Amino acid sequence: MRIKLNSQFRSYANGTYFQFSMPFCLYIGAAALCPDGKVRKVKRIASTPDTFFSIPASVTYKGKTVAGYLHLKNVGDPANPLEFKDAVIFSPYLYRKNGNIFNTEK
């Protein structure tokens, strides 16, 4: 993996991360937890979020591109409310092409 000199990483739980381009903090890469439970690098990511909570992105699953968005979710122990472990989560757009691919193929 080639890392740009002016980039910065923000690591989260389960090996997920965001990679930023400095000095403007534009998104240039990420790894996210997919619906099938595996962490994958994103294929494409928007340089800025479209809302306060989500960042458009896409991943490759079984050779097909799946469009969706990235967001943070607490994956810590629900029995211990003081344990905060945020992870980057990929949620596919279900109404787009290949949106249900994670649900249909096992």
Q: Are strands 17-21 and 39-41 parallel, antiparallel or unpaired?
A: unpaired
Determine the pLDDT at residue 4.
52
Domain ranges of the chain: 7-104
Determine the pLDDT at residue 90.
94
Prediction pTM value: 0.83
Q: Are the beta carbons of 87 and 12 closer than 8 angstroms? A: yes
Q: Rounded CA gap, 98 and 54, in Å?
A: 20
Determine the pLDDT at residue 78.
75
Determine the pLDDT at residue 43.
94
CA within 13 Å, CB half, 13: 13
Which parts of the chain sit beneath pLDDT 70?
1-6, 104-106
Q: Rounded CA gap, 94 and 10, in Å?
A: 28
Q: Are the beta carbons of 39 and 32 closer than 8 angstroms? A: yes
